[in-house]
Structure 1
Amino acid sequence: MANERFSSVWDAIEDTPEQADNMRLRAELMGKIADRVAEWEVTQKVAAERLGITQPRLNDLLNGRISRFSLDALVNLSRPALGGHLHFSFEDKPKEAAMI
């Protein structure tokens, strides 16, 4: 059996590149929100109130339960957590990879 190489864990475990991209974005956004909550140095109850969610829902986020959050839900949480606005960027594949 040959070893396959993947650019991320999501590419290895998801069925399609689109699903892998969705999971990658969700994981990144969850991490950013969790980092900001940690910076607040408040209880989960207070942090949940700031985010407008329940404490158990915040606990799911802080414990990385990615399957419990849609990308939409995380985008909606990003404004109270991160402030400012969310920026999206798209990187083109190198031409050689795109032709395969």
Structure 2
Amino acid sequence: MSNNIDCKIRHVTAADANIFAELGFEQNEATQLQQDAEKEVEQLLLIKRQLMQEISAWIAEHNLRQADAAKKLNVSRPRVSDVVNLKTSKFTLDTLVMMLSKLGKPVSVTVG
């Protein structure tokens, strides 16, 4: 039995390319899908930033050092720094919601 795994890279999509066109969608549909995806990503980033700003405001309001906030949140001090510096790519929505919950700031969602 052979344990050879094919790891050859056959195609690399350029960063500025439309991934949907690369996948074979017709141009009109690929353009629309890309626009929709970009819109969803922007909405997600907006929500993450808002939650991070709430956490940062709570820390400032309570005059806490990042190390003290980290203890309250049960995370490392660098994680608190990432929140304060709005490093959205390092967090999921559920992580940010749980952090706010630990601070006594439950999150509610309104659709509309």
Please give the TM-score of this superposition, normalised by the length of structure 1.
Answer: 0.70
- Residue 25 of structure 1 corresponds to 47
SS of residue paired to 1:16? helix
Aligned length: 77
- Residue 36 of structure 1 corresponds to 58
> Structure 1 unaligned runs (5+)?
1-13, 92-100
Return the structure number with greater relative CO, CA threshold 8 A, min gap 6.
Answer: 1
Match of 2:98 among 76, 84, 93: 76
Deviation >4 Å, runs of 4+ = none
Match of 2:68 among 46, 58, 64: 46
CA contact (8 A) 2:82 2:90 kept: yes
Larger Rg computed on CA atoms: 2
> Structure 2 unaligned runs (5+)?
1-35
Distance in 2, matches of 1:84 and 1:38, equals 15
Is 1:85 paired with 2:106?
Answer: yes
The two structures, once aligned, show a CA RMSD in angstroms of: 1.6
Q: Aligned AA for 2:47? A: L
Please give the TM-score of this superposition, normalised by the length of structure 2.
Answer: 0.63
Distance in 1, matches of 2:92 and 2:83, equals 11
Q: Aligned AA for 2:97? A: V
CA contact (8 A) 2:66 2:81 kept: yes
